[in-house]
């Protein structure tokens, strides 16, 4: 029951219980309530991607990034605060992007797989859409983010199951070049 109907019922009860004559019969009150049926919402509207979602502010507060549809798939768009122009910085058409964040004031990092294989690759792209780089271009390897190194604008720590499919080793990776080095070899009993 929506708030309006509840309010009407409450007022009708108060009017009747106080013995005040409103000039409208109880039957007319009920008929009035029946006429105000809730609107029907199409199922497609309930499950449709929103126009804009997952907003992220750049570290310096000058840019806003968000996910919005491009060819029916969620892609990253960037807009300078106070301006109308929007730049779509990714053009993924096979699946929605799984997530993203600002690595620094100029570069965004996101993860995606190809065709649903769930071998997540780590990508980085500039806020103007240039220099998009697959930082983990290894077939059959899954990447995971361990630490975005908030105080380090050029590097982050990721996990890759490159050596053994069941085990993720930590790597330090440069988000501009993709250059990486293994930090430790996981003995197999460390999951996070």
Strand partners, 78: 65, 87
Strand partners, 102: 108
- The model's pLDDT over 133-182, given as tens digits with 9 standing for 90+, comes to 999 999 999 999 999 998 999 999 999 999 999 999 999 999 999 999 99
Task: Spell out the per-residue pLDDT of the chain, length 192, in tens.
Answer: 566 676 677 766 655 555 545 555 666 666 666 666 778 888 887 777 678 899 999 999 999 999 999 998 999 999 999 999 999 999 999 888 878 999 999 999 999 988 788 889 999 999 999 999 999 999 999 999 999 998 999 999 999 999 999 999 999 999 999 999 999 999 988 887
Contact of 153 with 176, CB cutoff 8 Å:
no
Candidates 139, 143, 83, 70; CA nearest to 110 is 143
Measure the CA–CA gap between 168 and 188, rounded to whole angstroms: 8
pTM, rounded to two decimals: 0.73
86: helix, coil or strand?
strand
Contacts of 129 (CB under 8 A, 6+ apart): 87, 88, 89, 90
Location of each CATH 2.120.10.30 domain in the chain: 44-182
Which fold, 44-182?
Neuraminidase (2.120.10)
């Amino acid at each position: 029951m929506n708030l309006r109907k509840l309010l009407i019922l409450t007022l009708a009860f108060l009017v009747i219980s106080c013995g005040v004559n409103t000039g409208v019969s109880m039957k007319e009150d009920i008929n009035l309530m029946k006429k105000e049926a809730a609107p029907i919402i199409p199922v497609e509207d309930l499950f449709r991607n929103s126009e804009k979602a997952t907003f992220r502010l750049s570290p310096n507060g000058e840019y806003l990034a968000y996910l919005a549809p491009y060819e029916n798939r969620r892609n990253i768009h960037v807009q300078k605060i106070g301006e109308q122009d929007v730049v779509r910085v990714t053009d993924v058409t096979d699946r929605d992007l799984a997530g993203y964040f600002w690595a620094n004031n100029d570069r965004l990092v996101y993860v995606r797989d190809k065709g649903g294989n769930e071998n997540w690759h780590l990508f980085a792209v500039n806020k103007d859409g240039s220099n998009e780089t697959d930082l983990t271009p290894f077939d059959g390897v899954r990447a995971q983010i361990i630490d975005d190194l908030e105080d380090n604008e050029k590097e982050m720590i990721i996990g890759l199951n490159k050596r053994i499919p069941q085990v993720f080793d930590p790597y330090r990776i440069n988000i501009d070049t993709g250059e990486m080095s293994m930090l430790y070899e996981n003995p197999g009993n460390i999951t996070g």
